[in-house]
Amino acid sequence: MKRVAIVLLFLSALFVASAAQSLAAPAGQGSIRIKHSPTVGLNMTFAVWIDGVKAGSFSKGHVFDRALTPGRHEVIVRESGRRSPWHGTLDVKPGQTYSFVVKITPDQVHLDAVGRVD
Give exposure, 1-34, as e/b (b: 16+ Cβ within 10 Å): eeeeeeeeeeeeeeeeeeeeeeeebeeebbbbbb
Task: For residue 46, give Cα distances in angstroms to 37, 78, 92.
Answer: 12, 5, 22
Q: C-alpha 57: how far from its chain's center?
A: 11
Domain 26-114 in this protein, CATH class: mainly beta
**39 alpha-carbon distance from chain centroid:** 17
How, if at all, do strands 97-104 and 30-36 pair? parallel
115 vs 59: CA distance, rounded Å: 20
In the beta sheet, which residues pair with residue 104?
109
Written as tens digits, the pLDDT of the chain (118 aa) is 555 434 333 334 333 333 333 456 778 999 999 999 988 887 899 999 999 999 999 999 899 999 999 999 999 999 987 899 999 999 999 999 999 999 999 899 999 999 877 7
- Whole-prediction pTM value? 0.75
Helix (H, G, I), strand (E, B) or coil at 2: helix
